[in-house]
Structure 1
Amino acid sequence: MTALRTFEARAGWPALRERLATRLSESELQLLDEAVEFAVRWHGEQRRPAGEPYLEHLLEAVLVLVEGVGVTDVDVLRAAVLHDVVEDTGCSLSEVGGRFGPAVAELVDWVTKAEPVEGQSREQVRAAYLERLRQAPEDALLVKLADRLSNVQRLDTHPRPEKRRSYYRETLRSVVPLAQGHPWFRQWYATWAESFAFLEDAS
């Protein structure tokens, strides 16, 4: 079985910035500086389920796009940094657009789950969100695929076994099909699915 490639950003933004300097210009890095600063301010002390600082997840998504896929479009990379800021903080989409422009805001909008309306369950919202992604533009799909990669690459560290199983199955059902038009992501998710296949039968 092919070894699963994982992406880590534990060293923080300064170290990652230096690493990306071989692929991005200083002016592009400065645009990313602003996005990282904005994300840090809004996400604050938030942590991921396994306890790591939220920023690590955001930077992992950037690392996936640059070093895995070869993306250098700074708007796509800024959207990766900001992809959870509307969904998981008090920041509005208009604030994102006002600071980073309409292209970034549109990408963030595509990967943001809506709030439930009256009579709608969170499960229904999630299903509608995943269905809507099937119509997303290519750049938004890249952000989403990088986001989910970061979330599932160490799925066995999630503190809730039932969430590991449900997230594995949801990823196979709703996210892996989105990767089929992107060769690098298609191969990565195929290796990932094989690596975590034990979750399918876990009790």
Structure 2
Amino acid sequence: MEIYISWRTWDAARDDLARLGTVDVPALERACAAAERWHGDQLRPTGVPYVEHLLEALEVMTRGAGVTDPAVLAATLLHDVAEDTGATVADIEAEFGPEVAELVDWVTKPPTAGQGRQAKRAAKAAYLRRLGEAPAEAVLVKLADRVSNVQRLDQMPLDFQRRYYAETTTYILPLAAGEPWFAAWYAEWSERFAHLR
């Protein structure tokens, strides 16, 4: 199971993307700059800058799955903007157009502030089930996002590992079934973490 953590900064990503020669690097630079602007100094739960997660997902998408579609790649960099910042899907549409905005909208969890734990879990399960109706391009964005989140699952607390493994095998693996590269990656991943069943 390959781990995608080489791109910690846009500079590192840009150099590798230029060598691949299959993607619109200036367009991705613009999307990355917008993501950095909107996420600001925000950190992931692991304490790393948010942009590292976005670049991991982009690395999964390009180096792993070989995706080159400009809208899908831009949405990959922007996928958490509407969910985790003050920016909206309308803001994304104004800067990147309706296709990118629609993809981001599909992968944005509905707000659950003020709800209890059970209500939040139910809302998340409904969101994950709804992804089964999403366009294939939106599913790709979600699959790359989740690869970034689970590739080092063993670094999280054990109770979180178990919950996230169950959620991933229940909702994400079926989405990956239609995408050969992701299906193979997740099959290896689920075996590596099978002790969490």
Into which bin does the TM-score normalised by the smaller protein fall? over 0.9
Which of 56, 60, 64 does residue 60 from structure 1 map onto?
A: 56
Alignment partner, residue 49 of structure 1: 45
1:108-166 per-position Cα deviation (integer Å, ceiling 9, x unaligned): 000001124998821121011001000011100100000000000000112x2211110
Whether 2:27 is the aligned partner of 1:34: answer: no
> How many residues end up aligned between the 2 structures?
195
Alignment partner, residue 184 of structure 1: 181
TM-score, length-scaled by structure 2: 0.94
TM-score, length-scaled by structure 1: 0.91
SS in 1 for 2:108: coil
Alignment partner, residue 172 of structure 2: 175
Q: Is the deviation greater in 7-16 or in 140-149?
A: 7-16
Structure 1 portions without partners, runs of 5+: none
- In 1, are the aligned partners of 2:57 and 2:148 still within 8 Å (CA)? yes
Counterpart amino acid of 1:45?
Answer: D
Structure 2 portions without partners, runs of 5+: none
The offset of 1:24, in angstroms, is 4.0
Alignment partner, residue 108 of structure 2: 112
Q: Is the deviation greater in 103-112 or in 28-37?
A: 28-37
Residues in 2 aligned to 1:87 and 1:11: alpha-carbon distance in whole angstroms = 22
Whether 2:173 is the aligned partner of 1:151: answer: no
Residues in 1 aligned to 2:89 and 2:59: alpha-carbon distance in whole angstroms = 24
Q: Check 1:10–1:63 CA distance in 2 against 1; reply closer, same or farther (3 A cut).
A: closer
Q: Check 1:117–1:54 CA distance in 2 against 1; reply closer, same or farther (3 A cut).
A: closer
Q: Check 1:25–1:152 CA distance in 2 against 1; reply closer, same or farther (3 A cut).
A: closer
The 5 Å alignment of 1:5-44 reads 5-24=2-21, 28-44=24-40
Which of 97, 106, 112 does residue 93 from structure 2 map onto?
A: 97
Alignment partner, residue 138 of structure 1: 136
Whether 2:66 is the aligned partner of 1:70: answer: yes
Q: Check 1:187–1:101 CA distance in 2 against 1; reply closer, same or farther (3 A cut).
A: same
Q: Is the deviation greater in 83-92 or in 46-55?
A: 46-55
Q: Is the deviation greater in 160-169 or in 100-109?
A: 160-169
Whether 2:66 is the aligned partner of 1:81: answer: no
Q: Percent identity, please.
A: 50
Residues in 2 aligned to 1:176 and 1:185: alpha-carbon distance in whole angstroms = 9
Q: Which of structure 1's runs of 4+ aligned residues deviate more than 4 A?
A: 117-120
The offset of 1:10, in angstroms, is 4.6
Once superposed, what is the RMSD of the aligned Cα atoms? 1.7
Q: Is the deviation greater in 11-20 or in 138-147?
A: 11-20
The offset of 1:14, in angstroms, is 0.7
SS in 2 for 1:65: helix
